């Protein structure tokens, strides 16, 4: 190990005679830094959380020149402990990076500590001093060791998290324009009002939306031989099959209409005429704020059919409040995921076939209504 220690003196500016303070700066060679990173990776692979913490602290202290006071607060360690780690490393080098299990029964988290752990996990990794925004079992294990002094096996950390009500999930995007108050009013006031009116008039509640299915297909996870990533041909043609769709809240009935053209007010009105022609009951239409939904032509069309058609706009940037969004995902899974469409006609046939399947399986559509199921009287198990 090659380590250089630099001593620099600063003249005291006071009129009294005092000892001149000495500033110590330690510089490690590239080989030493490389070896530290190598040992850090090995510690991760062995799941040695104590060694991961120690090497990380030494890298911050000796390489990145992070003040020792900052590291003490970040890792909840005493300054004397950090000085000991640095001194041991300067004297014995890499040989000082060794931990041995002292034996005896390992400590466990108390109920109060588990409650605190839940609060920290829900706050997020960056809030507790991590640079990443993703929780992993290794990070959580380090967090438990840092906060509570309890060292769990990495595999048990996953079991502990499940027992605390956590699961490993993929994050999803939500708009930063969400109006929480408006969404609350929709669920607590507007939706119950629509539901009561539909029951009183024996009408149909339709959740409407549109989707475009690209000819170049879509990719999804699938099982394959290790090291051999699945490959799917693509035509690269920027052409899509446009579909208007609506699902009925009480029965799970699916209405849909495909088109090769763009989404527009005229095509949207044609779709609504199709629904009006296929039904006789009053329609309570719920859709988002797309331009062709709110255009002057569409507004006039709704006014002309006010005796049967009532429109209720969803809160802005709230696709999660429209259950048909989940139908589009299921349709793409059946119709386009990992499939190759050399001709556009092959795409339309595949999409139509998938939609026809859901049209004759209303029980699958009913399982998409999520947060609306309790109010409708549907079994929650059916919506899972």
Q: State the pLDDT at residue 25.
A: 67
Mean per-residue pLDDT for 38-59?
A: 84
C-alpha closest to that of 334 among 357, 352, 307, 354? 354
CB under 8 Å to 204, separation ≥6 — which residues? 198, 248, 249, 250, 251, 253, 279, 281, 282, 283, 284
User: Which is more confidently placed, 135 or 13?
Assistant: 135
Dihedrals phi, psi of 258, to nearest 5 degrees: -95, 155
Of 92-106, 276-290, 356-370, least confident by mean pLDDT is 92-106
Mean per-residue pLDDT for 145-166?
A: 88
Confidence of residue 351 (pLDDT cuts 50, 70, 90): very high
Confidence of residue 371 (pLDDT cuts 50, 70, 90): confident
Question: Within 10 Å of residue 304's Cβ, how many Cβ atoms?
Answer: 10
- Contact present, 122 and 27 (Cβ < 8 Å): no
Distance in angstroms (rounded) separating the CA atoms of residues 355 and 253:
11
Q: State the pLDDT at residue 22.
A: 52
**pLDDT tens, residue by residue, 186-222:** 999 999 999 999 999 999 999 999 999 999 989 998 9
Record the tokens describing residue 203, joined without a space. 């009408």
Is 182-220+231-383 a CATH 3.30.420.10 domain? yes
pLDDT at 9 over 70: no
Quick one: DSSP state of residue 177?
A: T
Residue in the structure block whose two tokens are 């799941």: 47
Distance in angstroms (rounded) separating the CA atoms of residues 366 and 381:
11
Q: Following DSSP, what letter does each residue of 347-370 receive, concatenated?
A: HHHHHHHHHHHHHT-HHHHHTT-G
- Contact present, 243 and 258 (Cβ < 8 Å): yes
pLDDT at 382 over 80: no
The mean predicted confidence, pLDDT, of the chain is 86
Mean per-residue pLDDT for 161-179?
A: 86
Mean per-residue pLDDT for 247-265?
A: 95
What is this structure's pTM?
A: 0.62
Q: State the pLDDT at residue 52.
A: 85
Confidence of residue 4 (pLDDT cuts 50, 70, 90): low
Torsion of CA 63, 64, 65, 66, to 10 degrees: -130
Q: State the pLDDT at residue 10.
A: 43
pLDDT at 232 over 80: yes
User: Which is more confidently placed, 29 or 212?
Assistant: 212
Question: Within 10 Å of residue 231's Cβ, how many Cβ atoms?
Answer: 8
pLDDT at 44 over 90: no
Q: What percent of the chain has pLDDT over 70?
A: 88
Confidence of residue 12 (pLDDT cuts 50, 70, 90): very low
Give the three-class secondary structure for 180: helix
Q: State the pLDDT at residue 248.
A: 97
283-287 vs 204-214, strand pairing mode: parallel
Q: State the pLDDT at residue 14.
A: 43
Of 17-21, 128-132, 375-379, least confident by mean pLDDT is 375-379
How is the chain split into domains, by residue range? Answer: 3-96, 111-163, 182-220+231-383
pLDDT at 34 over 60: yes
Give the three-class secondary structure for 382: helix
pLDDT at 383 over 50: no
**pLDDT tens, residue by residue, 82-140:** 999 988 988 888 888 887 655 555 668 899 999 999 999 999 999 888 888 999 988 89
Dihedrals phi, psi of 342, to nearest 5 degrees: -70, -35
Distance in angstroms (rounded) separating the CA atoms of residues 159 and 380:
27
Conformation bin of residue 307: beta by default, left when phi > 0, alpha when psi is -120 to 50: alpha
pLDDT at 362 over 70: yes
Q: Following DSSP, what letter does each residue of 250-313 receive, concatenated?
A: TT--EEEEEESS---HHHHHHHHHHHHHH--S-EEEEE---HHHHSHHHHHHHHHTTTTEEEEE
Q: What percent of the chain has pLDDT over 90?
A: 54
309-313 vs 283-287, strand pairing mode: parallel
pLDDT at 151 over 70: yes
């Amino acid at each position: 190990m090659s380590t250089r220690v630099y001593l620099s003196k600063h003249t005291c500016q006071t009129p009294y005679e005092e000892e001149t303070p000495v500033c110590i700066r330690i510089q490690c060679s590239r080989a030493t830094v490389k070896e530290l990173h190598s040992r850090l990776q090995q510690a991760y692979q062995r799941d040695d959380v104590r060694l991961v913490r120690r090497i990380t602290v030494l890298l911050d202290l000796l390489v990145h020149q992070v003040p020792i006071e900052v590291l003490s607060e970040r890792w909840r360690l005493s300054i004397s402990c950090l000085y000991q780690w640095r001194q041991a490393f300067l004297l014995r080098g890499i040989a000082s990076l060794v931990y041995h299990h002292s034996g005896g029964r390992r400590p466990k988290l108390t109920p109060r500590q588990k409650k605190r752990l839940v609060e920290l996990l829900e706050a997020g990794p960056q809030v507790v001093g991590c640079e990443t925004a993703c929780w992993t079992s290794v990070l959580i294990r380090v967090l438990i060791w840092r906060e509570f002094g309890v060292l769990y096996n990495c595999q048990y950390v996953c079991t502990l998290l499940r027992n605390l009500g956590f699961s490993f999930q993929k994050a999803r995007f939500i708009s930063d324009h969400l109006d929480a108050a408006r969404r609350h009013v929709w669920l607590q006031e507007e939706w119950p009002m629509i539901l009561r009116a539909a029951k009183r008039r024996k009408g149909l509640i339709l959740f409407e939306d549109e989707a475009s299915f690209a000819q170049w297909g879509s990719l999804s996870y699938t099982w394959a031989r290790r090291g051999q990533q699945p490959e799917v041909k693509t035509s690269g043609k920027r052409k899509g099959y446009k579909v208007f769709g609506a699902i009925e809240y009480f029965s799970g009935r699916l209405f849909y209409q495909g088109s090769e053209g763009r989404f527009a007010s005229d095509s949207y009105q044609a779709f609504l005429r199709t629904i009006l022609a296929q039904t006789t009951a009053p329609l309570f239409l719920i859709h988002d704020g797309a331009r062709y939904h709110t255009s002057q032509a569409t507004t006039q069309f709704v006014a002309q059919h006010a005796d049967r058609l009532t429109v209720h706009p969803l809160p802005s940037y709230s696709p999660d409040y429209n259950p048909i969004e989940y139908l589009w995902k299921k349709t793409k899974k059946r119709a386009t995921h990992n499939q190759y469409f050399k001709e556009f006609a092959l795409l339309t046939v595949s999409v139509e076939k998938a939609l026809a399947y859901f049209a004759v399986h209303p029980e699958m559509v009913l399982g998409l209504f999520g947060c609306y199921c309790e109010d409708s009287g549907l079994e929650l198990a059916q919506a899972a």
